[in-house]
Chains A and B, each alone.
Chain A
Amino acid sequence: DVKVTQSSRYLVKRTGEKVFLECVQDMDHENMFWYRQDPGLGLRLIYFSYDVKMKEKGDIPEGYSVSREKKERFSLILESASTNQTSMYLCASSPVGLAKNIQYFGAGTRLSVL
């Protein structure tokens, strides 16, 4: 079975803290993605990576950065957390080739910034 694992289900942080959200996939997928999910807005892409050390901005990259040092791991970093970053964060991965548009998702991390 394919598996995308996000390190925390729930996180509570304070304004100004540096926050790391970790995601690991065991499917040897080239592509990895970070989304945030907010009611009424669906999923919005923050960043994605199509190879180790490669990254591209998504639709809402402001206030976020990412790191991909190994193929299986993709980290989302909030350099200085703010209350408007309270949200559900979802990580996904996908292969290249014919199945590249099928993304596999982790269970999500619900982040609260106080």
Chain B
Amino acid sequence: GDSVTQMEGPVTLSEEAFLTINCTYTATGYPSLFWYVQYPGEGLQLLLKATKADDKGSNKGFEATYRKETTSFHLEKGSVQVSDSAVYFCALSNQGAQKLVFGQGTRLTINP
């Protein structure tokens, strides 16, 4: 079945560092791909998405590119802030499906 694998956390960085969180997927067909973020004490919220190969999703300085050849959707940010500390989830949705399949989540901590 469909699955999502994220890099293991926790990840700790200093403010203004470059961030990459790796995400790879296994799916039949052409899934849509998502990054959700969960700030402390809150539910998940959509950060960005991409619906087809080579699409780039972006929001709040974060970017991720849908790479079909490597089945990846890595999350990047050029300069992180303390306020980016959260848990990040990669997810996919396959054609016609209304369900999301989530990765295990990566906890990110940014130190000042």
Residues of A within 8 A of B (CB): 4, 31, 33, 40-45, 48, 50, 58, 90, 92, 94, 96, 100-108
In the assembled complex, 15 residue pairs joining A and B whose CB atoms fall closer than 8 Å, in A order, are A40-B104, A41-B104, A42-B89, A45-B99, A45-B100, A48-B98, A50-B98, A92-B43, A96-B98, A101-B97, A102-B34, A102-B49, A104-B45, A105-B43, A106-B43
Q: With A and B bound together, what is the CA distance between A102 and B100 in angstroms?
A: 9
Look across to chain A and name the residue whose beta carbon is closest to the beta carbon of B1: A59
**Chain A residues with CB under 8 A of B4:** 42
Q: With A and B bound together, what is the CA distance between A102 and B102 in angstroms?
A: 13
User: In the bound complex, do residue B44 and residue A90 qualify as a contact, i.e. CB atoms below 8 Å apart?
Assistant: yes
Q: With A and B bound together, what is the CA distance between A58 and B45 in angstroms?
A: 21
Partner of A105, one of B44, B98, B104: B44
User: In the bound complex, do residue B100 and residue A101 qualify as a contact, i.e. CB atoms below 8 Å apart?
Assistant: yes
Smallest CB separation, B87 vs chain A (Å): 9
User: In the bound complex, do residue A101 and residue B43 qualify as a contact, i.e. CB atoms below 8 Å apart?
Assistant: no
**Chain A residues with CB under 8 A of B42:** 107-108
Q: With A and B bound together, what is the CA distance between A58 and B93 in angstroms?
A: 14
Chain B positions 86-112 with a Cβ under 8 Å from a chain A Cβ: 89, 93, 97-100, 102-105
B17 within 8 A of A: no
User: In the bound complex, do residue A101 and residue B44 qualify as a contact, i.e. CB atoms below 8 Å apart?
Assistant: no
Look across to chain A and name the residue whose beta carbon is closest to the beta carbon of B44: A105
User: In the bound complex, do residue A42 and residue B103 qualify as a contact, i.e. CB atoms below 8 Å apart?
Assistant: yes
B81 within 8 A of A: no
